[in-house]
Amino acid sequence: EQSIHWLYEPGALTPSARYQKGQLYYVVSDHQGTVREILTEAGELLWAGRLLTWGEPERWPVLTVNDPRNLTCNFRFCGQYEDEESGLFYNRHRYYESETGQYLSPDPLNLAGGVNPYSYVHNPANWIDPFGLAGCNAVKAKSRNDAIRQAKNHAQVPRNSRGGQDIGIDELNASSRGDNWGKMKAEGGKKLGRRNPNGKNNWFEHPDGHPDAGQPGIPEHHSGGHIHAVDPKGVERIFVW
C-alpha cells in the first residue's frame, strides 16, 4: 500500500497527521497553516522545511539521502499543494507560481480589485489565500453588522468580564480618521473593537478608508471601512462590506 492519507481536524485547512504504510506521522504547522515538520509517533523528526517569501520551498536535511524513512511533503502556503511535474501550486480555484509570486489566471470572482488581479496577497508573512479567490485576505460581509459578527467570531476575544479589553475610539491613527469615525465620536462612540491583553487575538474596526488607498501595491480594503481580526494563533482576516 503506497497511498498517502492526510488527516484533518474538522474545518481545518492544514492536515494534522499523515498515514502511510500502516504508520502514523504527526504534522507540525506554523501560525499560518504552513507545514513545517513531520514527526513519528515517538516524536522523531523525519522531515522539516520552510518556505521563502513567496513560497519557494527550502527543505532542511534531516535524514541521509538513502534513508528509507525519508518523506516528501508537497504542501506549500495554506491551501496549496505543489504539482511535481509542473512545479505549480494547486490553490483550489487557481494555480500559483512561486517564482513570480502570482497566480496564472485572474481572480475568478473579481473580489481582489486593485491594479493586479493575478496577485497573491499583499504580505505573505501575515496573510493567506487558501481558496485562490482573492488577492488579499479580505472577506466580503453582507453589512457592517455582519462584518463585526464575523470578526468577533474569528478573533474569539474573551468578554471584558473575562479579561478582554476594549480598543478605544481614539486609538485609531489620526490619518485614518474620516467622516464615519467623526460621526461615531460625535454620537458618543467609545470603542472600535476589543483585544486580549494576554494573547494575540483582537478585532479592530477602521470605519473609513486610508489615505494611501489606490496607490500601487496597496490592498483594496484601504478604500473603505473594514475590520481587522486576528485569531488566537495570530492568523489575520480582514472583513469588508
pLDDT on residue 112: 47
The string of DSSP codes covering 38-54 is EEETT--EEEEEEE-TT
pLDDT grade for 214, boundaries at 50, 70 and 90:
low
**Which of 119-133, 138-152, 166-180, 214-228 has maximum average pLDDT?**
166-180
Q: Is the pLDDT of residue 191 over 70?
A: yes
**What is the chain's mean pLDDT, rounded?**
89
Q: Where are the domains of the chain?
A: 4-73, 138-240
Give the per-residue pLDDT at 213: 76
Q: Which residues contact 112 (CB under 8 A, 6 or more apart)?
A: 119, 134, 135, 136, 220
Q: Do residues 181 and 193 lie in contact, with contact meaning Cβ atoms separated by under 8 Å? A: no
Indicate whether 113 pLDDT > 50: no
Cα–Cα distance, 53 to 217 (Å, whole number): 16
Averaged pLDDT, 126-155: 84
